[in-house]
């Protein structure tokens, strides 16, 4: 019998410590082991991955590759520049592996990708071994132990986890690795069509990512930002398993911090260093095992005695939430990422709703502009020029560093959706997807649903103030001064509300509060006026949420899908929050370029034309009393 020849396919498990899948590969006692990465065009061109997260990924790959080489001089992380679906059938023939091993991934795209690869392996007679290692418990197991339903509360996750049993103990890193086998690539490379490239706006030079299957020098080197066409990253946050383990060791030394950690008590305004662990990006790329983290933390808590915090506020609670969102996604699949078709997502007639492909029911990544006003608000939110310094500081920090504190994310997410702009949570989720170094699809989607009160959370009358919330943590506005330098010299009294600053104070602070915050129009030495009266918007939004809740539609309701939901929001007051756009099933005029795959069906053009212009609708009162 021939000894096993194993391809180990690294994906979001860029580590050697506590990797159940890698261990399963080594348990085969293979003659050869190829540690590989395949550059998936879907990730490179179709997923929103800003330069900062790409850099973090490349860091993780480089570190892993070096760690592999330390265990075997002949080996490293071999990067192949082709998508797995087309690559593996060719690799199976050319390299003649007996096994393909990888860590299980329950992300929506990953599931279909892996199905295709498993099918190809079966056809080639290659055995496939997978192991769960990305979450505390296998997310499909959690779903199975929750009646096949998504976990919508932390209690449900904990109950399901309890039924499965204790979180698996960490597995030590391997002490040696087998040699890689020969790696002929004398087959034709399948080159992807990069257009449309969703990350184009981040790129400043020619994209040469797919020039040669084994890289420019034919040595399977890890790609560089240059090769991908990116300018240098802006974030100081760096990746890699070595760094992750160092950081974990450092954190664990402070027993009190670890054992008494309470997330809601950590400050969103603290930035140097941040108040939380900053381990999330390592979890995302699997550079740190979430199970290893869990057990290291639990050990500290167990020996700490009384006074230790507990879930959901504790550090353990944080990774439980992560598992909850993963299991919700595992149960709902593609519909989890959007309102339309999602039975667990409440329907709210937000501004700037997603366009959908009528064939698949899935969002296209583009949105309807039902309100020019809302579009302008959205742009200002994204750019960090809303005129609310707390919001702008956080959005600028997010863009530059790829990270903001969890409560900062709450604040800006609430502001964009139910607590200010009344813009679709899907718009916000897309921006976070692009900008976060720790973007985790399930957690991002789940948290946006939470904050916009369409799922997981429902207390929509608890609205974050862009003024008071920041002041609670950072009276003098240090975070604002760091990220909104125009306001650096503004007195603490006005730092959160510069529009209240009298002219002499503006002069003294060297800034004029003027302009509408839209791109190209903001003059040097100025900071924009606030884009709306927050308390007025708060009242309008709470009233609109109350109404949407009472209508009670969910994403899978027929009325949501066919556009007839409009007839259920008849009050003129809601004109302010009425989508004014053509139905997805009657797409015409304005989207000629992708018109070829949007079949004209039943010709319905469901958009009632509502006369009310968004700004024309006034709140009934400055206070909360807008709803009747």
Partner DNA sequence: ATCCTGGTTGACTTC
Partner DNA sequence: AGAAGTCAACCAGGA
Distances 326 to 49, 115, 320, 435 between C-alpha atoms, Å: 20, 19, 10, 20
Q: Which of 465, 506, 583, 614 binds DNA (CB under 7 A)?
A: 465
Is 279 marked as binding a ligand?
yes
321 is a site residue for DNA (CB under 7 A): yes
Considering only residues 360, 468, 567, 602, which one is a binding residue for DNA as defined by CB under 7 A?
Answer: 468
Binding part of the chain for DNA, among 27-35, 453-461, 571-579, 587-595 by CB under 7 A, reads 453-461
Q: Of these, 143, 463, 495, 544, which contacts DNA (CB under 7 A)?
A: 463
Annotated binding residue at 479? no
State how far the alpha carbon of 54 is from the alpha carbons of 49, 77, 575, in Å.
Answer: 6, 17, 42
How many residues make up the chain in this entry?
628
Binding of DNA at residue 235 (CB under 7 A)? no
Query: Which residue of 102, 464, 483, 569 would you call a contact of DNA, by CB under 7 A?
Result: 464
Let me know the angle formed at the C-alpha of 29 by 24 and 30, rounded to the nearest 5 degrees. 100
189, 82 Cβ separation under 8 angstroms? yes
Contact range with DNA by CB under 7 A, out of 76-84, 287-295, 452-460, 524-532: 452-460
Spatial distance between the Cα atoms of 42 and 82, rounded to a whole number of angstroms: 10
Residue 82 · residue 187 · CB < 8 Å: no
204 is in an annotated binding site: no
Residue with Cβ nearer DNA (514 or 535): 535
SS3 of residue 508 by DSSP:
helix
CB nearer to DNA: pick between 314 and 397: 314
Given candidates 472, 500, 618, 622, which one binds DNA under the rule CB under 7 A? Answer: 472
**DSSP letter, residue 442:** H
- Tokens 């509300």 belong to 497
Q: Which one of residues 312, 358, 387, 579 is an interface residue with DNA (CB under 7 A)?
A: 312
User: According to CB under 7 A, which one of 74, 462, 618, 622 is a site residue for DNA?
Assistant: 462
Binding piece for DNA, criterion CB under 7 A, among 78-86, 180-188, 333-341, 457-465: 457-465
Interface residue with DNA, options 43, 109, 304, 461 (CB under 7 A) = 461
Q: Where are the beta strands (DSSP E) in 412-457?
A: none
State the number of binding residues for DNA (CB under 7 A): 40
**Least CB distance to DNA at residue 313 (A):** 4
Q: Is 136 known to sit in a ligand binding site?
A: no
The rounded distance, in Å, linking the Cα atoms of 429 and 143 is 24
Site residues for DNA, 548-607, by CB under 7 A, read: 549, 552
Tokens of 259: 């054992």
Task: Mark 227-236 as b/e (b = at least 16 C-beta within 10 Å).
Answer: bbbbeebebe
From 9, 92, 415, 450, residue interacting with DNA (rule: CB under 7 A): 450
- Residue 350 has a CB neighbour count (10 Å cut-off) of 27
Residue 547 is a binding residue for DNA (CB under 7 A):
no
Q: Which stretch binds DNA (CB under 7 A): 223-231, 309-317, 572-580, 593-601?
A: 309-317
The answer to whether the beta carbons of residues 245 and 289 sit under 8 Å apart is no
Residue with tokens 């750019």: 383
Rounded to the nearest 10°, the torsion over CA 539, 543, 544, 550 is: 160
Residue 465 CB, shortest distance to DNA, in Å, is 4
**Among 226-234, 256-264, 425-433, 498-506, the segment contacting DNA (CB under 7 A):** 256-264
The residue among 262 and 493 lying less far from DNA, judged by its C-beta, is 262
| Binding of DNA by 458 (CB under 7 A) | yes
Residue 257 in contact with DNA, rule: CB under 7 A? no
**Residue 318 touching DNA (CB under 7 A):** yes
Query: CA–CA separation, 293 vs 18, rounded Å?
Result: 10
User: Smaller CB distance to DNA: residue 32 or 413?
Assistant: 413
Of 236, 269, 232, which Cα lies nearest the Cα of 402? 236
Question: Residue 37 Cβ, how far from DNA at the closest point, in Å?
Answer: 31
Quick note: the x/- pattern for DNA over 258-277, rule CB under 7 A, is: ----xxx-------------
Question: Which CB, 328 or 511, lies closer to DNA?
Answer: 328
For the chain, give the longest Cα–Cα distance: 87
Stretch near DNA under the rule CB under 7 A, chosen from 22-30, 72-80, 394-402, 458-466: 458-466
Which of these, 388, 394, 466, lies nearest to 431 by C-alpha position? Answer: 394
589-592 long-range Cβ contacts below 8 angstroms, 24+ apart: 591/355, 591/366
At residue 125, the 3 state secondary structure works out as coil
CA atoms within 13 Å, Cβ hemisphere of 482: 19
What residues numbered 128-187 form the site for DNA, per CB under 7 A? 149, 151-156, 159
User: Least separation, in Å, of the C-beta of 153 and DNA?
Assistant: 4
Spatial CB neighbours of 395, under 8 Å, sequence gap ≥ 6:
381, 382, 383, 384, 386, 412
Residue 388 or 585 with smaller CB distance to DNA: 388
Q: What is the distance between the alpha carbons of residues 469 and 492, in angstroms, rounded to a whole number?
A: 15
From candidates 3, 93, 163, 546, binder to DNA by CB under 7 A? 546
How far, CA to CA in Å, does 166 sit from each of 137, 295, 298? 9, 10, 12
Q: Which stretch binds DNA (CB under 7 A): 6-14, 210-218, 454-462, 509-517?
A: 454-462
Smallest gap from Cβ 441 to DNA, in A, equals: 17
d(CA 453, CA 350) in angstroms, rounded, equals 12
Residue 276, annotated ligand binder?
yes
The phi and psi torsions of 417 (rounded to 5 degrees) equal: -100, -105
Considering the complex, state which of residue 139 and residue 371 has its C-beta at the smaller distance from DNA. 139
Which residues belong to the annotated binding site for FAD? Answer: 276-280
List residues near DNA by CB under 7 A: 149, 151-156, 159, 262-264, 312-313, 317-318, 321, 344, 406-407, 410, 450, 457-465, 467-469, 472, 546, 549, 552, 624-625, 627
Which residues belong to the annotated binding site? Answer: 276-280
């Amino acid at each position: 019998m021939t000894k096993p020849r194993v391809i180990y396919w690294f994906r979001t498990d860029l580590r050697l410590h506590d990797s159940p899948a890698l261990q399963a590969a080594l348990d085969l006692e293979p003659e050869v082991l190829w540690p590989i990465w395949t550059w998936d065009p879907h990730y490179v061109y179709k997923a929103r991955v800003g330069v900062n997260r790409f850099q973090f990924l490349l860091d993780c790959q480089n570190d892993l590759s070096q760690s592999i080489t330390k265990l075997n001089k002949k080996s490293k992380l071999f990067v192949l520049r082709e998508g797995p679906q087309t690559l593996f059938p060719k690799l199976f023939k050319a390299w003649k592996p007996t096994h393909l091993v990888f860590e299980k991934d329950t992300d929506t795209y990953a599931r279909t990708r892996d199905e295709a690869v498993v099918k190809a392996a079966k056809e080639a007679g290659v055995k496939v071994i997978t192991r769960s290692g990305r979450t505390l418990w296998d997310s499909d197991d959690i779903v199975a132990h929750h009646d096949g339903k998504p976990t919508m509360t932390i209690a449900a996750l904990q109950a399901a986890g309890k039924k499965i049993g204790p979180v698996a103990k960490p597995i030590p890193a391997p002490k040696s690795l087998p040699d890689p086998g020969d790696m002929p690539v004398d087959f034709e490379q399948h080159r992807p069509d990069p257009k449309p490239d969703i990350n184009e706006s981040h790129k400043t030079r020619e994209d040469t990512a797919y020039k040669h299957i084994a890289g420019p020098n034919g040595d399977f080197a890890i790609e560089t930002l240059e090769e991908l066409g990116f300018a240098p990253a802006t974030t100081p946050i760096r990746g890699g398993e070595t760094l992750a383990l160092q950081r974990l060791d450092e954190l664990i030394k402070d027993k009190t911090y670890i054992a008494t950690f309470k997330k809601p008590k950590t400050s969103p305004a603290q930035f140097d260093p941040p108040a939380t662990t900053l381990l999330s990006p390592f979890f995302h790329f699997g550079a740190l095992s979430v199970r290893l983290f869990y057990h290291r933390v639990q050990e500290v808590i167990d020996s700490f005695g009384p006074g230790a915090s507990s879930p959901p506020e504790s550090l353990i609670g944080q990774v439980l939430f992560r598992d909850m969102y993963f299991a919700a996604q595992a149960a709902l699949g593609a519909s989890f990422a959007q309102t339309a078709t999602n039975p667990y997502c409440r329907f709210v007639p937000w501004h700037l709703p997603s366009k959908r492909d009528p064939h698949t029911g899935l969002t296209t990544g583009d949105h309807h502009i039902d309100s020019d006003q809302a579009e302008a608000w959205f742009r200002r939110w994204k750019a960090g020029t809303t005129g609310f310094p707390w919001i702008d500081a956080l959005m600028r920090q997010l863009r530059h560093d790829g990270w903001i504190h969890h409560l900062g994310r709450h604040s800006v997410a609430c502001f964009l959706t139910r607590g200010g702009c009344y813009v679709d949570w899907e718009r916000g989720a897309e921006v976070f997807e692009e900008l976060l170094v720790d973007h985790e699809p399930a957690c991002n989607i789940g948290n946006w649903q939470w904050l916009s009160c369409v799922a997981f959370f429902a207390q929509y009358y608890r609205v974050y103030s862009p003024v008071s919330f920041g002041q609670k943590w950072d009276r003098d506005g240090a975070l604002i001064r760091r990220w909104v330098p125009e306001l650096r010299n503004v007195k603490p009294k006005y730092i959160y509300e510069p529009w209240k600053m009298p002219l002499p104070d503006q002069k003294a602070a060297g800034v004029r509060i003027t302009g509408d915050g839209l791109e190209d129009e903001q003059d040097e030495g100025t900071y924009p006026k606030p884009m709306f009266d927050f308390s007025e918007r708060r009242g309008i939004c709470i009233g609109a949420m109350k109404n949407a809740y009472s209508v009670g539609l969910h994403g899978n309701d027929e009325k949501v899908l066919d556009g007839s939901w409009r007839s259920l929001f008849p009050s003129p007051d809601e004109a302010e929050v009425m989508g004014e756009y053509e139905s997805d099933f009657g797409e015409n005029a304005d989207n000629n370029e992708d018109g070829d795959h949007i079949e004209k069906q039943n010709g319905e053009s469901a958009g009632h034309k509502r006369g009310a212009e968004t700004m024309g609708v006034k709140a009934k009162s400055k206070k909360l009393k807008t709803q009747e």
